[in-house]
């Protein structure tokens, strides 16, 4: 196997998962919403991309549509979920992922059911070598990662981001201070889901074949590992968490494919991830990167204040 293509492949996956980790960061890291069905929105984006691409839409429109459909699903799930307690929200989102997979599996006519669906490459018309296609994918994915990163930094370091953080800490107190938390939570779920939808679209476009078995709850778990390892409420944390976890995740597949080991590296990997999460939650719940204080310009006023130390 071409080592360069392998590395580029890993970079693409790191980017896709960085998007998922950042999307969970909006929901969980900043707003405190425990979305345990991240894979559902990822899957919705992937299948939307697959179906619209099959209609002959250009890839950017497919991506936008993937974001819209996943975002709309996020809004839909927010309707019953947001008035619920945290534990119920967790159960509802988790089971929603299972149900969406069941629907795709059962409805053969929609997108191939269990047999999966093939997707045209975004770069099909350009007549590229495999290595150039891999490069093109890396650029496409990471341009979007950088775009989303900048967008989220702009969104979070605002009074809006302050309200989200307030909701994470105490949603009743936010209500008392004049902000309806339902609206904010719904928006956070929509934004998070839309980003996950884009990630799903990129995933489908890159692999050019998807089936329901690619969207197991395992994906959600990986995203949580990334965020908790990297550091919730810190976009750098989400990004670097995704890079680290995906390095090991792709690496374990590589080991499995090319080496004969007395154990299955994939099993060992998940045992280690599971133990890692438990240890992190016990001893370092803020992960590698701590949350940064909000920067809206207000903090600068404190330093100008006469009596400030």
Partner 1 sequence: MIDTGQILVNSLVTSSLYLLAGTGLTLTFGLSRFPNFAYAELITVGAFCGLLFLAQPGGVFVLALVGAFLVAGLVSASSYSLVFQPLAERKTSLIHLMVASIALGYVLRHTIGEIWGWSAQAYQLMWTVYTIGTVRISSLWIIMIATAVLTAVVLHFFLTRTRTGKAIRAVASNPELASVTGINKQKVILLTWFFGAGLAAVAGVFRAADTRLFPMLGWDILLPIFAVTILGGIGSFYGLIIAALLLGLAENFGVVLLSSIGLSTEYRMAIAFLILITVLIVRPKGLAR
Partner 2 sequence: MAILAVEGISKSFGGLQVLQSASLEVAEGTITGLVGPNGSGKTTLLNTIYGLIKPDEGTVIFRGQKISGLAPYRIYDAGLAFSFQLPRLFFQLTVLDNLLLAARNQVGTSFSGALFRRRRWRRQEAELARKALQILELLGLVPLALHATGELSGGQRKLVEIGRALMSDPVMILLDEPAAGVNPVLGRKIYQKLRALRDQGLTFLIIEHKLEMLLDFADRIYMMDAGQVVLSGTPKEVIENPVFYATYVGETKNVTFPG
Interface residues with partner 1 (CB under 8 A) are: 28, 32, 34, 36, 80, 84-88, 90-92, 94-96, 98-99, 102-103, 105-107, 217, 221, 224-225, 228, 263-264, 266-268, 270-271, 273-275, 277-278, 281-282, 285
Q: Are 226 and 17 in contact (CB under 8 A)?
A: yes
Residue 12 host element (H or E): helix 3-24
Q: Which of the choices partner 1, partner 2, none does residue 170 contact, using the CB cut-off of 5 to 8 A by kind?
A: partner 2
* Site for partner 2, residues 109 to 168, rule: CB under 8 A: 154-155, 158-163, 165-166, 168
* Site for partner 2, residues 242 to 281, rule: CB under 8 A: none
The length of the chain is 309
- Both tokens of residue 152? 């989220």
- Which is closer to partner 1, CB of 7 or CB of 79? 79
> Nearest distance from residue 228's CB to partner 2, in Å?
16
Cα 204 to its chain centre, rounded Å, is: 14
> Nearest distance from residue 72's CB to partner 2, in Å?
16
Q: Which of the choices partner 1, partner 2, none does residue 258 contact, using the CB cut-off of 5 to 8 A by kind?
A: none
With binding defined as CB under 8 A, does residue 75 bind partner 2?
no
209-210 and 117-118 strand pairing: antiparallel
Helix 38-54 to helix 3-24 angle (10° resolution) is 120
Select from 209, 161, 270, 195 the least CA-distant residue to 35.
195
Is the dihedral angle over the CA atoms 29, 33, 37, 39 positive or is it negative?
negative
Task: Concatenate the DSSP letters of all residues of 160-221 into one string.
Answer: HHHHHHHHHH-HHHHHHTT--HHHHHHHHHHHHHHHHHHHHHHHHHHHSEE-GGGS-HHHHH
* Contact range with partner 2 by CB under 8 A, out of 95-103, 193-201, 244-252, 297-305: 297-305
> Nearest distance from residue 28's CB to partner 2, in Å?
14
Site residues (vs partner 2, CB under 8 A): 154-155, 158-163, 165-166, 168-170, 172-180, 187, 291, 293-294, 296-302, 305, 307-309
């Amino acid at each position: 196997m071409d080592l360069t293509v392998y590395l580029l492949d890993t970079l693409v996956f790191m980017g896709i998962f960085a998007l998922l980790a950042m999307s969970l960061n909006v929901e969980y890291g900043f707003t405190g919403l425990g979305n345990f069905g991240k894979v559902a929105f990822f899957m919705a984006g992937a299948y939307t991309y697959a179906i619209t691409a099959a209609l002959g839409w250009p890839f950017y429109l497919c991506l936008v549509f993937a974001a819209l459909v996943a975002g709309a699903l996020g809004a839909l799930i927010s309707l019953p979920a947001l008035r619920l307690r945290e534990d119920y929200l967790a159960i509802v989102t988790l089971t929603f992922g299972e149900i969406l997979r069941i629907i795709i599996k059962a409805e053969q006519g929609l997108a191939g059911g269990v047999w999966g669906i093939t997707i045209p490459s975004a770069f099909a018309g350009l007549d590229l070598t495999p290595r150039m296609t891999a490069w093109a994918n890396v650029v496409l994915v990471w341009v979007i990662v950088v775009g989303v990163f900048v967008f989220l930094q702009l969104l979070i370091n605002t009074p809006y981001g302050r309200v989200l953080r307030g909701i994470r800490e105490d949603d009743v107190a936010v209500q008392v201070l004049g902000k309806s938390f339902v609206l904010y939570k719904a928006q956070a779920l929509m934004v998070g889901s839309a980003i996950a939808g884009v990630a799903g679209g990129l995933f489908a476009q890159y692999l050019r074949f998807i089936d329901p078995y690619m969207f197991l709850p395992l994906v959600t778990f990986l995203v949580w590992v990334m965020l908790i390892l990297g550091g919730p409420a810190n976009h750098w944390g989400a990004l670097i968490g995704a890079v680290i976890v995906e390095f090991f995740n792709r690496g374990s597949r590589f080991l499995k494919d090319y080496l004969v080991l007395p154990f299955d590296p994939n099993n060992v990997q998940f045992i280690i991830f599971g133990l890692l999460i438990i240890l992190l939650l016990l001893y370092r719940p803020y992960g590698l990167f701590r949350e940064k204080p909000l920067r809206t310009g207000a903090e600068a006023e404190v330093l100008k204040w006469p009596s400030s130390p």
